[in-house]
Amino acid sequence: MKALPAFAAIIFAVTLWQAIVSLTGLPKFILPGPVQVAETWWQNRLVIAEHTLVTAMEVMIGLAIGTALGIVTAIQLATSRAARVLVQPLLVFTQALPVFALAPILTLWLGFGLWSKVAMAVLIIYFPVTSAFFDGLMRTPQGYLDLATTMQANPRRVLLHIRIPAALPSLASGIRLAAVYAPIGAVIGEWVGASKGLGYLMLLANGRAKTDLMFAAMLTLGLFSVLLHLAIRFATRNLGKHDSQ
């Protein structure tokens, strides 16, 4: 029953898409219909799968690194006033910089291979994880802290046994949000310079006026993002339930 609304939304979107194509009479190279895109996807499924694997690798590595860095940074910010004064404003400043402006620089520094795309994914993932986990660490229920003070627990034990466990639901929310953003970073990196990946395939198809292939690659990226989000949501479900147990 939970899948019924999603299935209905997909049917509605495809129907609306076909209706727009039929009613407007737009040329296929401007807006191909869903049937044509599906046929193109099937005809090019091996090529799309190859590029999807490249993008997936970039996203997964970026997600792992970005999450780890975000967790470490959030703990440092929560436990050090100096870090909050010096580092937190820099984190906010980095979010004001347009991602497209950083992509060429990272490509120049790291080359056209895997790591420039991973770095882009890390940059996009890092802030949501850091921000969400830090917010959770700073919102530990006062009753827990009062009990720890009464029991004369040292700061390290309070952090490991009270503050971090209480902040796990916030961390889970940050990781789920990062899972949605991660593919965006990898694809932006591929747009700037790459020879493989879904972003590269979209640019290649667009340059050759193969709009149906571009749509097929774009929909594949969207499906991958949804599946990644669902997988991360499933993997972090126990973290999100921690404070209710």
pLDDT in tens, 179-207: 988 898 899 989 888 889 999 999 999 88
Q: How far apart are CA 105 and CA 192, in angstroms?
A: 10
Residues of the chain short of pLDDT 50, as ranges, are 242-245
pLDDT of res. 243: 46
pLDDT of res. 245: 42
Backbone dihedral region of 25: left (phi > 0), alpha (psi from -120 to 50 degrees) or beta? left
Percent with pLDDT over 70 in the chain: 96
pLDDT in tens, 89-112: 888 787 777 777 788 888 888 888
Is 19 buried (19+), middle (13-18) or exposed (0-12) by CB count in 10 A? exposed
pLDDT of res. 242: 47
Q: How far apart are CA 196 and CA 154, in angstroms?
A: 51
Supply the DSSP symbol for 112: S
pLDDT of res. 167: 92
pLDDT of res. 215: 94
Q: How far apart are CA 212 and CA 37, in angstroms?
A: 5
Alpha helical stretches, state H, 97-210: 99-110, 114-138, 142-150, 155-158, 164-192, 198-207
Q: Which fold has domain 44-244?
A: MetI-like fold (1.10.3720)
pLDDT of res. 2: 56
